[in-house]
Amino acid sequence: MGDLNEEYDIVVVGTGLTECILSGVFGSEGKKVLNIDANSYYGGESASLNMFDMWKKFRWSEDQRRQEDQRKKDIETMENEEREAEEKRRAAAKEAGDDSYKPLPKGERPPQAGPNPPEHYGKDMRSWNQWHISLIPKFLMADGELTRILHQTGVTNYIELLSVGGSFVVKKGVPSRVPSTRMEAVKSPLVSTMQKYYMQNFLQFIANYKEEDASTHKSDLNLDKNTMREAYKIFGLDSWTSEFIGHAMALYSDDSYLDRPAREPIERIILYVKSMARFGNSPYIFPIYGLGELPERFSFLSAVYGGTYALNTPLQEILYDDSGRVSGVKFPHPITKEETVIKTKKVIADPTYFLGDSKRIRATGKLVRAICILDHPVEGTDNVESAQIIIPASQTGRKHDIYISVLSSVFNVCPKGFYLASVSTVLEDPEGGNPHQELEAGFERLGLGSGRLGEKEEKFISVVDIYEPVEDGTRDNVFISRSYDAATHFESTTDDVKDIYKRVEGKDLVIKERKEQPEEQ
């Protein structure tokens, strides 16, 4: 962390992916940016945790976490006092010409407040650091907006992205690869014999479509007037073929899109097919060492342009001038812990810093997520080391799909012999009484059905609220991001980035490709 200035153009609160992209973009445009986060790690809700932090987050009580935070502060105080005392003893011995000086042994440290992870996950911090467990189950679309931003900003110079091994959809309990070309449609068990012809025609239309070339359009289909339900009918696609196209290619989690204009679903299917064509195995890519690499590398981008980051620094208060607009922020100094006021006229923040403030944020739903540690590969996925598996709602009697993502040690997210799998869906029970049951179909696909867990396997289940800002932020210059949604990818996140940028700057975000990166300041 660099020295704090008295004033910044923008203060960003939180180090989630949305916030860090914006920090990097504004920093590269020459703005002075300060980014603070109450956590001890980058990423917020989009972080990747080592095994110790994972255990602390999900297996320690709130009291244990609070005691551990206090323990660390106490140890820091003890170390500072011991250091000062030792410096005085050393100086006194030197002044007295005493050659027998030896440092005193360090005092006994208070014990750790909570348990360590089981030894089969590692015995010390070095082995726990082999785990990079992403808190949100999302992949990047290979031809998506976030991937373009990574390339254009030069962040790909600092991370390595690998193709995910396969994209599957489940029908009658059996996963099959999602076809994205005419030839794949012919061979796919997902498509009935009668539907193969219609599916081929549809995929040919998708492959050829160019908005600017009327010859690639379908004369009886108006993307802005016809609904997607009508589009499927025009192509002769039946209910099941339409469902897996809409859910496994357009990646909608429910059927509400069917009665909206066809343009957005068609554009999403085109994105899927183009992303699939990039690598061939699947349309998805994922960073080595987990999703936490993304916010961390965008924070590095901001830093090389002079941005300042401060972890373990909770926001205490936003200050306003007489007109009701932001004038500054207050927080404990990250080193001295003294109350610090920084001047700024704009604040960007993630919604978790405004929990309980109904004037700032509102909840729009809940997601249930389970992060699973497996000691075996997932059956029915062609022995791939990584995969995305979608269980459509119709296969489970639900309203929303269940998503499964699987990763292996190939991505350096876990030691060899283990797999990381995430199961997630929209929580449909308004009372939220049995989140485990809402994911049961996903657990069965992973071999963890009916509560089964192997000796070295684990489930970390959480229910999270989805928030959006109540206002657009232009009234007082407090701009709040959206929570990460149920989608399997980050396209909605980049939409939020562009939306916030336009509200802050009053113009569209245009990222120019940076062929050379400045040296770190």
Residue type, 408: S
Comparing CA positions, the residue from 491, 293, 283 lying closest to residue 411 is 293
pLDDT at 2: 59
Residue appearing with tokens 């204009």: 261
Number of domains in the chain: 3
3-state secondary structure of 38: coil
Residues 308, 385 share a domain: no
Q: Do 251 and 328 reside in the same domain of the chain?
A: no
Question: What CATH number is attached to the domain comprising 209?
Answer: 1.10.405.10
Domain co-membership, 247 together with 309: no
Pair (389, 328) in one structural domain: no
Confidence at residue 121, expressed as pLDDT on a 0 to 100 scale: 98
Mean pLDDT estimate for the chain: 94
> Residues in the chain with pLDDT < 70?
1-2, 513-521
Q: What is the pLDDT of residue 430?
A: 77
Q: What is the model's pLDDT at position 519?
A: 52
DSSP 466: E
Does residue 136 lie in a domain region? no
Do 440 and 390 belong together in one domain?
yes
> Are 339 and 482 members of one domain?
yes
Whether 183 and 268 map to the same domain: the answer is yes
Residue 4 in domain: no
d(CA 161, CA 166): 15
User: Helix, strand, or coil here: 255?
Assistant: coil
Alpha carbon distance 197, 202 (integer Å): 9
Q: What's the confidence (pLDDT) of residue 520?
A: 46
On whether both 263 and 239 belong to a single domain, the answer is yes
Give the domain extent around 389: 366-466
3-state helix, strand, coil in the chain (%, to 5): 35, 20, 45
Does residue 167 sit in helix, strand or coil? Answer: strand
DSSP string, 365-410: EEEEEEEEEESSPPTTSTT-SSEEEEE-GGGTT-SS-EEEEEEEGG
Asked if residue 104 belongs to a domain, the reply is no
> Are the C-beta atoms of 156 and 514 separated by less than 8 Å?
no
User: Residue 8: how many CB atoms within 10 A of its CB?
Assistant: 23
Report residue 521 as tokens: 């300041």
Q: Are 310 and 399 contained in the same domain?
A: no
Over residues 12-53, the pLDDT tens digits come to 999 999 999 999 999 999 999 999 999 989 999 999 999 999
Helical packing angle, 193-208 and 239-248, nearest 10°: 40
Per the document, the length of the chain is: 521
Place of tokens 């992949």: 139
Do 262 and 300 belong together in one domain?
no
Asked, for residue 68, whether it belongs to a domain, the answer is no
Query: Residue 51: its pLDDT value, please?
Result: 98
Which CATH number goes with the domain that contains 459?
3.30.519.10
| Phi, psi dihedrals of residue 12, rounded to the nearest 5° | -105, 125
pLDDT digits (tens, 9 = 90+) for 322-370: 999 999 999 999 888 899 999 999 999 999 999 999 999 999 999 999 9
SS3 449: helix
Among 279, 310, 330, identify where a domain stops.
279
Q: Is the dihedral of CA 250, 255, 256, 260 positive or negative?
A: positive
Same-domain check for residues 474 and 435:
no
Residues 393 and 452 in one domain: yes
DSSP state of 513: P
